[in-house]
Amino acid sequence: MHRYGEVQYHEREYDLRDGVLRRSVRWTSPTGRAVKVSSVRMVSFTQRAAEVGQLQLAYDYLGEAALLDLDDLEHNVRDGGHLAALAGTWTALVAGFGSPRSHDGSLSFAPRLPEGIVRLAFHLLFAVAACASR
């Protein structure tokens, strides 16, 4: 067994009809404890739907992703918050609805907001990496 444990099973399923990405992993810890982890991610669908102009659909996906912990949709908040879901919600808002683009060292935005969101404000730090050619 690897010092970090061993993955016994991994499955990723896209349900495009319902807009859900499900992931399941069965893992054995280094101590031999069997652990099963499942997640449902709406965040990536939020960003993709917004990028192609399906704003209401993106807004619906965003609501489900944002409420993962607030409404305890997975019935496991007692074990702790889903930091990836929280970060993903921020990313979906900024990257999906704010639509920032970097091109030739400059940053531009093409915001698109669905009904229900009247204003979106966020702070970014943008740095251009210098590349030296030899």
pTM of the model: 0.58
Predicted pLDDT of residue 18: 62
- Ranges of residues in the chain with a pLDDT under 70 are 1-4, 12, 14-23, 37-45, 68-69, 73-74, 82, 84, 129-134
Identify the bridge partners of residue 22 per DSSP, sorted by sequence position.
13, 40
Predicted pLDDT of residue 15: 66
Q: What is Dmax (Cα atoms) for the chain?
A: 56
Q: What is the dihedral of CA 42, 45, 46, 48, to 10 degrees?
A: 160
The total number of residues written for the chain in this structure = 134
Predicted pLDDT of residue 42: 61
Predicted pLDDT of residue 121: 92
Predicted pLDDT of residue 113: 92
